[in-house]
Structure 1
């Protein structure tokens, strides 16, 4: 569960699972982000961007491992997906 001031690995996994994504229990933040971007489609990309925006604009502190996984796995994959979409 996400506590008011901290977003940890378990929070990330929970949020991804709440979006209906298949993320193995006990996965690291990096593994979870890798799973999240497999088979991206418009709906999933939208929900992931929305989730990241909410996390980054909240007052909660994102633990470094979670931020690093999002910055190195999730955001680049979302950007690449967006670029591959027809204008």
Structure 2
């Protein structure tokens, strides 16, 4: 029997909470990502960037809703933050 690691909505919320991001109970992956990118500071952006890199380069399978939330919310917000910081 093969075991596959999956990153689902609950995993994403847990990882964001572990980084210190406030998440509303029962948030969807998209809502969690929206919350994570509000009021980004240098430290928060760095932690979020590291998490995204780990998720995208890891061997776990990211469920489509989580991947879409990352692509739609986190990546553009991090890119915009980086551009505004020079």
- For 1:23 and 1:60, the matched residues in 2 are separated by 23
Paired position in structure 2 for 1:74: 74
The CA deviation at 1:25 is 1.5
- For 1:80 and 1:39, the matched residues in 2 are separated by 12
Unpaired runs of 5+ in structure 2? none
**Residues 35-80 of structure 1, C-alpha deviation per residue, up to 9 Å, x if partnerless?**
0000101000000010011111111000000000000001100100
Moved over 4 A (4+): none
Cα distance, 1:48–1:5 mapped onto 2, change above 3 Å: same
Paired position in structure 1 for 2:42: 42
Paired position in structure 1 for 2:64: 64
Count of residues in correspondence between the two structures:
84
